Structure 1
Amino acid sequence: MSIETYLQVSELHQDYAAAVDAQDWERWINIFTDDCVYRVQSRENFDRGMPMAALSLDSKGMLKDRIYGITETIFHDPYMQRHVVSAARILRQDREVIEAEASYAVFRTKYDGIAEVFNVGRYIDRLIQTEDGLRIQSRICVFDNDMILNSLIYPI
């Protein structure tokens, strides 16, 4: 692994967190490949190989549908998120694919409340080098807690 690859993966993780925190949904969607997989799954289900997930999207089109739902149809008490993402671990790399993992913590702040820990876990990523730079082909957000507070509106 080269330092350049490590820095590209780190930059991608930070760009992802910044896009979600800013609710810049177009930027968030464009971090993924067209044939992407995005899943938010409990550690227990992931470790047991169980398919049940809190959120499972299987293409960029499904990401767009989710964002449409968030911005146009879902009624919820608005809140802000702030992501803290650890340094990445590059697990495997070949000419086309990088497999990486990073820990994350997501804090949620409601407009009339204090910040609370919303979700903690790890990203398990399959990244692809494209003409536009590194993109996420698969992101599995494996959360450590058994339950998600209230409901999952915004991406993790």
Structure 2
Amino acid sequence: MKTENYLRLTQFYQNYATVVDQANWSAWLDMFTDDCIYKVQARENYDRNLPMAALSLTSKGMLQDRIYGITETIFHDPYHQLHMVSSPLILSESDTGIIESQANYTVLRTKNDGIAEVFNVGRYLDRIRITQDSIKLESRLCIFDNEMILNSLIYPI
């Protein structure tokens, strides 16, 4: 493992949390490759290799469509998210700049009435392309531990 890559990866995970928490959707999109996969799936389905997912997007174009829906068409009770992400664990690192890693996450949700609640907890399983100039997610699987998502899933995890 290259120490420099670990530090960059750690910063990337924290930047991801900040970007999503601040609803900076253009920066969120920039964190993915064009041919990316973004999936939010219950741990039970993941462990049993079942395809059912709460959200399954298979390209940057699909991520853009989701952001358009969030910002232009989906009506929902407004809320804020706060992500807490653990340090990443590098599972593998290739000479070609591909890192497979994971990190645990907790997402708190606060509605405008001021009551915070645990919204989603789980782990990210990522395939990341790292170059001299950038870090991009090729694949992010958000494997959540709870069997249900409170209300509906609007914003990315």
> What's 2:102 paired with?
101
- Separation in 2 of the partners of 1:153 and 1:132? 31
> What's 1:118 paired with?
119
- Separation in 1 of the partners of 2:51 and 2:144? 14
Deviates more, 1:127-136 or 1:10-19: 127-136
- Separation in 1 of the partners of 2:132 and 2:59? 19
Q: TM-score, normalised by structure 1?
A: 0.98
**Equivalent residue runs for 1:2-151 within 5 Å:** 2-95=2-95, 96-130=97-131, 132-151=133-152
Which ranges of structure 2 fall in alignment gaps of 5 or more residues?
Answer: none
Question: Aligned pair count?
Answer: 156
- Separation in 1 of the partners of 2:132 and 2:88? 22
Quote the offset at 1:131 in angstroms. Answer: 5.8
- Separation in 1 of the partners of 2:35 and 2:15? 20
- Separation in 1 of the partners of 2:103 and 2:132? 24
Runs of at least 4 residues off by over 4 Å: none
* Cα deviations by residue, 1:95-141 (Å, 9 ceiling, x for unpaired): 22100000000000001131100000000000002464111000000
**Identity over aligned residues, as a percent?**
62
* Cα deviations by residue, 1:64-84 (Å, 9 ceiling, x for unpaired): 000000000000000000000
- Separation in 2 of the partners of 1:76 and 1:31? 26
- Separation in 2 of the partners of 1:38 and 1:132? 22
Q: TM-score, normalised by structure 2?
A: 0.97
